[in-house]
Amino acid sequence: MRTSRPVLNVSITLRALPLLERFEAARRLGFEQVELWWPFDSPTPGEGEVSSLVAALDDAGTRLRGLNLFAGDMPAGERGVASNPERAGELTANLDAVLAIAEATGCRLFNCLYGHRDERWSEQQQAETADQAIAGAADRLAALDGVVLIECLAQGENGAYPLTSLEHCAAVADRANALSTHGNVAPLLDLYHLARNGFDIVESAAQWAKRVAHCQIADAPGRHEPGTGDLPLREAIDTLYANGYQGLVAGEFVPASPEGPTTAWVEDLGW
């Protein structure tokens, strides 16, 4: 059963607007629930920056449902720091600000991008670094009933990012859960990234419905609104919920029009 209307990822769908204006724009489009990539340049923003973010969410009447942990310089191509032995400490330092935002907003879903494969270290060294960093984040966020999400990304679009399947994500989650106290690490189901990596998204939805803790969608090719490409997104979402999924679905797409995102897809997908 679908739990609520979709969430809108304002970091990508409304990126043409200044950060603090995106929540009101989302509300005008009919979205009361939003999610964010890490919205600050630093893993340790000042109290004023955090307060301004929370105030903008409140003023718009929007609820923050998902937040990416600090992932490095995303515009420059970085995709996380958890597996980098020189930078995993930045993820740990990030948690004070994450907890402050979570306490103020009620956000309970936290996406932790794994980081690129780096030949300066062995795969085992990077895996052990990531396992410890993710488990540490999960233990701290468990105090607020938080769940840490592990996401696979599309090959060819995200550098040397090593997690390209839900099996990869589940393996990382299992290792981190074995090290943590609360077992609150879970895969994230991103139908766009899975499709780009050659997976059947309907079969994936059926197989992973009871294991994943969040779902994100965009159409392909193009990564635009659902309905602009050829992915069977409605069938995949129907299958996901029919097989026991109880979480949220978030639109995480690049608007096809320079005028901004459209909303017809919400009804087209069954909401």
Give catalytic residues, as residue numbers. Answer: 151, 252
Q: Which residues neighbour 13 within 8 Å (Cβ) at sequence distance 6 or greater?
A: 251, 252, 253, 254, 255, 260, 261
Distance CA 142, CA 219 (A): 33
Distance CA 187, CA 150 (A): 5
User: What amino acid occupies position 132?
Assistant: Q
> Are 183 and 157 spatial neighbours (Cβ–Cβ below 8 Å)?
no
Q: What tokens appear for 113 in the block?
A: 């991008």
Q: Angle 126-130-132 (CA atoms, 0-180°, nearest 5)?
A: 120
> Are 92 and 136 spatial neighbours (Cβ–Cβ below 8 Å)?
yes
Residue 216 region by backbone torsions, left for phi larger than 0, else alpha for psi between -120 and 50, else beta: beta
